[in-house]
Structure 1
Amino acid sequence: MNGILRFVGFALVVALTVALIATLAGCGSDPGERAATPLPKLDTFVVAADTATGGRAWDGTVEAVREAVLSAQTAGRVTAVDADVNDRVAAGQILLRLTVVEQQAGVDAARAQLRAAEASAVEAERQFQRFSALAKDNYVSRAQLDQIRSARDAANAARDAARAQLSSAGQNADYTTVRAPYAGIVSARRVEPGETVNPGQPLLTVYAPDDLRIEVRVPQSAAESIRAQPGARVLFDDGIAVDAREVVVYPAADPASHSVPVRVLLPRMAGAIAPGTTAKVVFPIGGDARALRVPTASVLRRGELTAVYVVKDGRVLLRQLRLGASAGGTVEVLAGLRAGDVVARDPEAAVQAIVLQRDAAGAGHG
């Protein structure tokens, strides 16, 4: 249904444009007569080169420097989830609990094995001390003493292994309590109480909101200029602009794209900027004077058609565009416009102006 509506909208735009051209063409052979019908008042702007940024800009996405996907490290059933999406949590705070029955049974068994191993080690040590005393008076042979020494060493090794087993069982029991690795915000929750989880299954995602960055890829020619002037200004779509805390240019280019990654560290900001937010990163290097930008709201999008309405010689013309990256409520124009072109701010108002001008021309020649 949506595809049909888009097709009908596109057909309407084309039909209106064709009708306008046909009407103006039928008003007479004199160009002055065709332009005699005035164009209704229309809000427009003049396309100019994008010099406000004072450098070259690339679009990027905000990501958290510290973001942890907390996964299950032991099997069990979820008994409680104490944190939800958007909750702020403290370092070490309990976020989720699993059943601990099987893990606790493992701890108890390991503790019993340790007690048995310790008793065996104590008895083996006593036996060795007795044989050592007898060996001084040659009541036992050297071979017997060596055999008792080996038995003692084996008992001590079994005791150490039992201690390690108890430590492992205790750690496995601790895995049933999931804690926050650092202070942050819960950005994802993937389980509910009652679910059975297995080792490696994602449970929650936590990120630190005060440590954010953006990574962009720039051409090799621009990378050297950025390395010489390691600074940047970050522009967000809501109008917020901040200076980068640090700019790190990678030492090598990507062999596939031949671009160089540049990491931009953001400062602490009062507003909440969430990972995944798009932003424009402007580096203070020589920009492209031919770069043009127009307001996103002025662009008409109908299926495969991307265009604006250009006002020229008292007429409104549909001009198809090839667009680039968008940021801050504007979009880069790669082809279709030149500096100095006059563009309607509202495509719908431009269509209405076309209809009014056509009706006025028809009434004047009726």
Structure 2
Amino acid sequence: MTHQSAINRLTRTWLLVFGLSLLVACGSEQEQAADNRPGRPGGFGPGGAQVIPAVEVVEARRGALPLEERLTGRVSARSQTEIYPEVAGPITEIYIDNGDFVNEGDPLVQLRDDEYVERYQQAQAGLEIARAQTRQAEASLQVLESQMRRVQELTTRQLETASALESIQVEVEVARANVDLREAQESQAQSILEERRLQLLNTTVRAPISGTVGQRNAERGQIVNTGSRLFLIGDMDEVRIEVLITERQLNFIREGMTVNLYSENWPDVVLESEISRISPFLDTNTLRTQAYIDMANPDGLMRPGMFLNVDVLYGESAEAVLIPNSALYRNPRTGEEGVYVMSPPGEEFRPVVEVDGAPAVSPPAAVRFVPVTVIASGRMASGVRGVQEGEWVVTVGQNMLTGNVPEARARVMDWNHMMTLQRMQSRDIFDIIDAARDDRNNAAES
């Protein structure tokens, strides 16, 4: 999303909310209600009375914008593994369920083991046979070696021929080879027995790590094999956020840089961490690589598989006059970008978050459109040329000022409050409006 399209989207949201917020804030003021009777903004209402539009303003300030890059990250448990059985068979017992915590080595699933018990017993019998055959071959070798020694002695005394000695020596070599063969067969039988033993043990699927169980895909009677994923186990106390970064971003994003993590699921929470490491290898197809953020998971806010907004803070811009992004307005007819600037509303008109009896909306004041040049863009504010520090810029209601409207009434907003509102989702703003309306109704009833 481009900078301008983001501003336009934010402006549309504020325009939708603005009318409701003014009704809540100013519903009890009869004079203001009269000024906002049906009529075209900046035009004339019933009886020819000119309607003065009401807008929200904030004071421009000087400062440096944090340079940040907004990315999207995917959460996984720091230690996370998928559970597959190492042997095939039907499931007979399931010992755990989603959300259970298990320790390394705890049983998860039991497969039917009848055939594996039988195979193990067969392997035991095969090993015993191989051992017996080895002993038999060794005994035969001992007999032949004894005979060879006697023939050698007789040959020395010239009581036996050399050919007889050669014949018995060949028989001994054959017997020794047979012993080697039987020993190899015994070793093979031992390996088969160990393999069958492990297969039998693997009919009980155990947790390879300690963690919380999720994504269960196992039921009693289900036939599974080595390609059947049964569970996902992960340590939820530590998480890893994977972020994809481009070749361009590698020029300024570094390990150790601070990141802020946001989610629409917890709009009032901002988590701070830092980039733990960056892979140096770019994918040949996407020309992107992975950056990883390893961090604790406070209160279990982050869940494996969820996506987060990740703002990477990589420095600050030069100092400039700062205005909220919602103040930037592009004239739909001329295409010119600028801001609407109002005369200072006066010290008695404090920001709405501080109002305690002071007027919420100022009397009519002069307003003018000022073209600006954006020299630095941030997620919530922009640095511009064309506006002076301390001037009041319109953040909501610019569409009611088009057509050379000379004046408007100002509802003063605090800078920090404005930044908070810009971070909110539309539904959060409607919740605030509903709560304010309920408070006003309750106060009126009492």
Give deviations 1:311-357, integer Å, cap 9, x for gaps. Answer: 137579xxxxxxxxxxx996799xxxxxxxxxx954998xxxxxxxx
AA of the residue aligned to 2:147: L
Match of 2:271 among 234, 241, 245: 241
> What is the CA-CA distance between 1:176 and the residue it aligns to?
0.7
Give deviations 1:87-143, integer Å, cap 9, x for gaps. Answer: 111110011111110100000111011111111111111111221222222266211
State whether residues 25 and 34 of structure 1, in contact with CA within 8 Å, keep that contact through their aligned partners in structure 2. Answer: no
Q: Match for residue 101 of structure 2? A: 88
* Cα distance in 1 between the residues matched to 2:91 and 2:271: 43
* Cα distance in 2 between the residues matched to 1:311 and 1:137: 119
> What is the CA-CA distance between 1:212 and the residue it aligns to?
1.7
**Structure 1 unaligned spans of 5+:** 1-12, 14-21, 295-308, 317-327, 334-343, 350-366
Closer, same or farther: CA 23–329 of 1 in aligned 2, 3 Å: closer
TM norm structure 1:
0.67
SS of match in other structure, 1:83: coil
TM norm structure 2:
0.56
State whether residues 225 and 285 of structure 1, in contact with CA within 8 Å, keep that contact through their aligned partners in structure 2. Answer: yes
* Cα distance in 2 between the residues matched to 1:128 and 1:48: 103
Match of 1:100 among 113, 117, 132: 113
SS of match in other structure, 1:24: coil
* Cα distance in 1 between the residues matched to 2:296 and 2:143: 71
Aligned: 1:122 with 2:135: yes
Aligned: 1:156 with 2:169: no
State whether residues 147 and 168 of structure 2, in contact with CA within 8 Å, keep that contact through their aligned partners in structure 1. Answer: no
* Cα distance in 1 between the residues matched to 2:59 and 2:210: 47
Closer, same or farther: CA 26–233 of 1 in aligned 2, 3 Å: closer
Match of 1:254 among 283, 288, 292: 283
Closer, same or farther: CA 61–102 of 1 in aligned 2, 3 Å: same
State whether residues 215 and 264 of structure 1, in contact with CA within 8 Å, keep that contact through their aligned partners in structure 2. Answer: yes
Query: Percent of counterpart pairs with the same letter?
Result: 22
State whether residues 74 and 241 of structure 2, in contact with CA within 8 Å, keep that contact through their aligned partners in structure 1. Answer: yes
Aligned: 1:225 with 2:252: yes
State whether residues 293 and 332 of structure 1, in contact with CA within 8 Å, keep that contact through their aligned partners in structure 2. Answer: no
* Cα distance in 2 between the residues matched to 1:330 and 1:137: 106
Aligned residues: 292
> What is the CA-CA distance between 1:160 and the residue it aligns to?
0.8
Correspondence 1:263-282 to 2 at 5 A? 263-267=292-296, 269-282=298-311
Aligned: 1:36 with 2:51: yes
AA of the residue aligned to 1:276: G
* Cα distance in 2 between the residues matched to 1:45 and 1:77: 69
* Cα distance in 2 between the residues matched to 1:240 and 1:116: 69
> What is the CA-CA distance between 1:61 and the residue it aligns to?
1.6
* Cα distance in 2 between the residues matched to 1:152 and 1:54: 78
SS of match in other structure, 1:147: helix
Match of 1:286 among 305, 312, 315: 315
Q: Match for residue 180 of structure 1? A: 207
**Structure 2 unaligned spans of 5+:** 1-15, 17-37, 152-164, 318-375, 382-394, 403-419, 434-446
* Cα distance in 2 between the residues matched to 1:263 and 1:151: 60
